Amino acid sequence: MNADYKKILQNLKIRQYAPVYLIDGEEPYYIDALTEHFENDILQPHERDFNLITLYGKDVNWADVVNACRRFPMFAEKQVVILKDAAQTKDFNKLVDYIEKPSPTTVFLIEHKFKKADGKTKLVKAAKEKGIHWTSDKLKDDKIPGWIQDYGNEHGLKIGEPEAQVLTSHLGNDLQKIANEIEKVRINIPNEKELTLAHISKYIGVSREYNIFEFPDTLTSGDFNKMYKMLHYFLVSPKAAPMVLMVATFYSHFSKLYMANYLKGKPEKEVTTALGYWRYKETMAATQNWPLARVERALLLLGKYSTMTVGVNSNTDDRELLKELVGQLLM
């Protein structure tokens, strides 16, 4: 039968096991997650020494795999056999005879990572009929931000659309890398319920010489020499800062400046609590040149440009919009 990841995981957690699982595809994140469950959660710790068998395709042939699957469990109801890198197994398709008549006391995972198994073969058809076949496809790039938000929700961390777009822009479509970076942030801010652009900048960082996190700070700091160098970089390297992300980053920065104007003269503890921002000193200093009225005008401008970036009342490209926005903010 065909299945999806969540259904497979749900059944595994309630200990409803199929005799055979064929998990293939180009996206390793989910395959690794399922494999980890097979390794750690089906058998009790004291059962694993005798009943968890891990084989590697490059080291075995089909007969070795069948022999492992046909053996009886020791001091347990079931054994788990995992065939990793299955595509490298010699005469891999000869496993079809076992899959058609699997052992009822073996849970057999075929990990066919990084590519799909040939769906026209008898082996794949038998896996669908006798057990579970699921393909872990690569997500399209436009689906990555949504995946990031879903991942955050599942782990109790709200991730807004701008923040998800920023992570996508700088981390690409490697789901394991994205998950690792989010977990790194969660470790550093265990009590926070929302991932902000400031958190991303501080704990994940950006490797480029100039990045969109620094740009709003540079603009409002009055360091025009650096600001124009950064602007030039973004204009000749538009992929480094898509306009939709630039607007979101500016909006986050000016929202902090808006609050900072009301925090002048307040105790430092109150300022840091309200801003929740690791560069609060720079933000407070910027209020000298960016009083409340100027910040309010900037926020209105950003609202206008946020619609223009998605083509509402504008067909201007990102580079021209960025030049316009910076010019308008500095007026």
Place of tokens 């960025």: 322
The tens digit of pLDDT for each residue in 100-118 reads 999 999 999 999 998 899 9
Q: Are 115 and 24 in contact (CB under 8 A)?
A: yes
Would you place residue 67 in the very low, low, confident or very high pLDDT band (cuts 50, 70, 90)? very high
pLDDT of residue 276: 66
Q: What is the pTM of this model?
A: 0.68
- Name residues whose C-beta falls within 8 Å of residue 82's C-beta, 6 or more positions apart in sequence: 35, 38, 39, 52, 53, 54, 55, 109, 111
Residue 89 tokens, joined: 């197994």
- Name residues whose C-beta falls within 8 Å of residue 229's C-beta, 6 or more positions apart in sequence: 210
pLDDT of residue 209: 59
Which residues are registered as beta bridge partners of 23? 111, 134
CATH topology agreement for domains 5-135 and 139-205: no
Burial class (CB within 10 angstroms; exposed 0-12, middle 13-18, buried 19+) of 292:
middle
Cα–Cα distance for residue pair 206/200, rounded to 1 Å: 9
Q: Are strands 106-113 and 79-84 parallel, antiparallel or unpaired?
A: parallel
Hey, what CATH class is 209-331 in? Answer: mainly alpha
**% of the chain surpassing 70 pLDDT:** 95
For helices 243-262 and 268-275, the axis angle rounded to 10 degrees is 150
Closest C-alpha to 95, from 112, 80, 76: 112
Q: Which residue has the higher pLDDT, 163 or 137?
A: 137
- Alpha-helical regions (H) of the chain: 5-13, 28-40, 45-51, 62-70, 96-100, 122-130, 144-154, 161-171, 175-188, 197-199, 214-221, 224-236, 243-262, 268-275, 280-286, 292-308, 318-330
Q: Which residue has the higher pLDDT, 67 or 272?
A: 67
Q: Are strands 158-159 and 194-195 parallel, antiparallel or unpaired?
A: parallel
**144-171 burial string, b = 16+ CB within 10 Å, else e?**
bbebbbebbeeeebebbebbbbbbbbbb
Is pLDDT of 27 > 50? yes
Is pLDDT of 5 > 80? yes
pLDDT of residue 312: 72
Give the lowest-confidence range in 104-118, 123-137, 159-173.
Answer: 159-173
Q: Domain residue spans in the chain?
A: 5-135, 139-205, 209-331
pLDDT of residue 1: 40
Cα–Cα distance for residue pair 26/140, rounded to 1 Å: 12
pLDDT of residue 278: 61
Residues 217-244 have a mean pLDDT of: 86
DSSP designation for 212: T
Question: Does CATH place domain 5-135 in 3.40.50.300?
Answer: yes
Q: What CATH architecture applies to the domain 139-205?
A: Orthogonal Bundle (1.10)
Give the lowest-confidence range in 256-260, 261-265, 278-282.
Answer: 278-282
pLDDT of residue 2: 46
The tens digit of pLDDT for each residue in 181-212 reads 999 999 998 888 999 877 887 788 654 557 78
How many other C-beta atoms are found inside a 10 Å radius of the C-beta of residue 119? 12
How does DSSP assign 249-266, residue by residue?
HHHHHHHHHHHHHHSTTS
Please report, in angstroms and rounded to a whole number, the separation of the first and last CA atoms in the chain. Answer: 64
From residue 305, alpha-carbon distances to 120, 180, 257, 323 in Å are 51, 33, 19, 12
Closest C-alpha to 110, from 189, 224, 31: 31
Would you place residue 236 in the very low, low, confident or very high pLDDT band (cuts 50, 70, 90)? confident
